[in-house]
Amino acid sequence: MPFDYAAVIYTHKDVSASDLGRYRLSDDVMTRNSGISGRTPEFVILNTCNRSELYVYSDAVDQTLHAVLRHVGREAGERAQVLKGVEAVKHLFRVASGLESVIIGETEIVHQLKSAYRTYKDAGYCSDNLDSLLGDAINFSGKLRRDTNISKGSISAPYVALSFLPKHLAKGQKVAVVGAGYMAGRALESLTSRYGNGCITLFDRNEDNGMKMAASFYVRFAQLDFGNLDSYDFVVSAIYYDGKSVRLTGPKKIVDLSSPSVFAGENVVGIDEINRCARSSIKMRLDAVEKCGRLIDDYVGKNYCPPSSDSQRR
């Protein structure tokens, strides 16, 4: 039943990317929530640099939502967008298709959703109902991208970030990439394509993950020590770090894709600035948004009705 689905949402539309880390959802909202009795409902959490979203399937969806909002606290609860039933389903389809992204039609989001889907399925939190819904949303997003212009000339955050770096490096200049997650991987893909791999070093806190990614791009790996980054000319960062802001004077430019921001200073381009630049590149996709929205509404209406649903914003 679609009314058993719900979503708790924080996105770039309501919270600045630099503040989004304060509202970042974790498994604790479901697994260590005293307000949820009995078996933990099915759930998946999608955390990216521009959103933190909880998708739930529960036989007692109102009770579950009440427990989640109480768990995150009053201020976070009031900032959350809460959707139930068909509206939650439509939102998931829109997210998977890139309609809710800063860069309309971007494709990173579907890879991030697939990763979250696999993680929670492997952990046993995403079973029959959410499994079916997420698989359907991911598959339908592929159809939309093939049949419409929503992803035409798609520009992702790492590609936008690259516009802040020189097209060519001077002799001896070096680039550091911080992180070994999906966004860092896309940044490495772009950077190695532009500069080659001899001038790039990957830094990460996790040696196994970092060495594996570095090897796949044929770049050097080093254990993350922020102080060592001062000897690099350019830095691209995509990690989660909740410590004190880091200031480096050595790099000419630091492109910080992290949320919350890791670096501070006049030489830093943060995620909010990257997002502002990204918004200016979406004009050619806007004509496809309305069409995609109608296609999603029609598909969800046919496959996940009853037609009326209850949604609320808190």
**272 in Cβ contact with 17 (< 8 Å):** yes
**125 in Cβ contact with 42 (< 8 Å):** yes
Distance CA 152, CA 109 (A): 15
4: left (phi over 0), alpha (psi -120 to 50) or beta: alpha
Residue 177 carries which side chain, given as an amino acid letter?
V
**314 in Cβ contact with 80 (< 8 Å):** yes
Polymer length in residues for the chain: 314
Residue 83 carries which side chain, given as an amino acid letter?
L
Strand partners, 256: 237
Distance CA 22, CA 244 (A): 14
Question: At 108, which helix (H) or strand (E)?
Answer: helix 108-122
Q: How many other C-beta atoms lie within 10 A of the C-beta of residue 204? A: 23
| Residue 292 bears catalytic tag | no
Distance CA 107, CA 141 (A): 10
| Residues 6 or more apart in contact with residue 40 via CB below 8 angstroms | 30, 31, 125
Catalytic site residue from 49, 126, 199, 292: 49
What are the strands, taking DSSP E only, across 17-138? Answer: 42-47, 51-57, 81-84
Enzyme catalytic residues: 49
